[in-house]
Chains A and B, each alone.
Chain A
Amino acid sequence: MNDYNSATETTPTPLTLGDKTFRSRLLVGTGKYSDAETMNNALEASGCEVVTVAIRRVDLKSGDNLLSQLDRNRYFLLPNTAGCFNAEDAIRVCHLSRELGLGDWVKLEVLGDKKTLLPDPVGTLEACRELVSEGFKVLVYSSDDPVLALRLQDAGATSVMPAGSPIGSGQGILNTNNLSIILEQLDVPVIIDAGVGTASDVTIAMELGAEGVLLNTGIAGAKDPVAMAHGMRHALDAGWFAARAGRIAKRRYAQASSPTEGVLGE
């Protein structure tokens, strides 16, 4: 993790995924915002460059949606396959994404069921293999299973993105043990995706050694999304620096910070 010079660097280094470099390690979703102004202000406050988007049927009654007011020149749009429960549907969405002009980068999600929204490991792996063979750059939503994470890396994923906790649950980072194993084992960048409820969750993910964090509801669902976006941005920086600083060991008992010699009265 000695990838920066603490004497000169005051912000985290850029995020490298595949052949691309992004200025921010925070990837932010564009769903669930009440209005376009809040969405745009929150995205700006977060400092993000990569934003996730979804692909849906055109609403035949209302037409344009919030996203038409996103400044597309400022952001890298990463289409997801949210709502797909098998590999075939996810691959279909990726093909439509290409036709929409969104390029070859996709956030692959193949979900197991509607209640947990946990990934279907078999369908996810199957879709990942196929999409990679078709030239897609696959950032793949995964469970926190270290074995699956390795398999997805072997399948050619550009990034493996294990969930901190279920999508939209706000439970934060539940299984730090498994995530640590994934981070230790994988060579491709690992991004913690899903479950972030508040800023400290982002810090924990980065302290574990994640390359980045992807979140949506934690910002969009906060009472003040713009304030939370600021918080998330700083939390990410805090965790990134802490991860490189080499934290102190935990001890059972206290260890005085001030000199123990020369104390008055001895």
Chain B
Amino acid sequence: MSSENIHEGGIGSNSMELIEIQLNGEVHQIEKTASVLDLVNSMPLESAAVAVERNRAIVPKSQHGDTLLQPGDHIEIVTIVGGG
């Protein structure tokens, strides 16, 4: 986000178009030009590894930066948790 955006009010300003996606089953808004990598980096994660599915197909980590999100995308971001 540029300083200009913040000055003008950040999210909601005309200079940043948002799109709607489904993220882990919930509606999520993100910048129109965002990539999968941008989305992953916006997660509240510190060290955990993640894997990403876009519309049921895995997006390999090497392609996170090049894969742009499209309106209506169904994105799943998963990680490792405790289990039996």
Contacts and interface: CB of A to CB of B under 8 A. Distances in A.
> Is this pair of chains taken from one and the same complex?
yes
B84 A55 contact: no
B69 to A, nearest CB: 16
Contacts of B47: 64, 68
Interface size class of A (residues with CB under 8 A): 35 or more
Contact of A30 (B25, B76, B77, B83): B83
A167 B82 CA distance: 16
A31 B82 contact: yes
A65 B84 CA distance: 15
A32 B60 CA distance: 30
A216 interface: yes
Given A96-B58, A96-B78, A99-B51, A60 B24 contact: yes
B48 interface: yes
- Main SS class of interface, A: mixed
B38 interface: no
A197 interface: no
B43 A60 contact: yes
B41 to A, nearest CB: 12
A31 B84 contact: yes
Interface string A20-62: 0000000001111100000100000000000011111110111
7 contacts: A53-B80, A54-B81, A60-B24, A60-B26, A99-B52, A99-B58, A100-B78
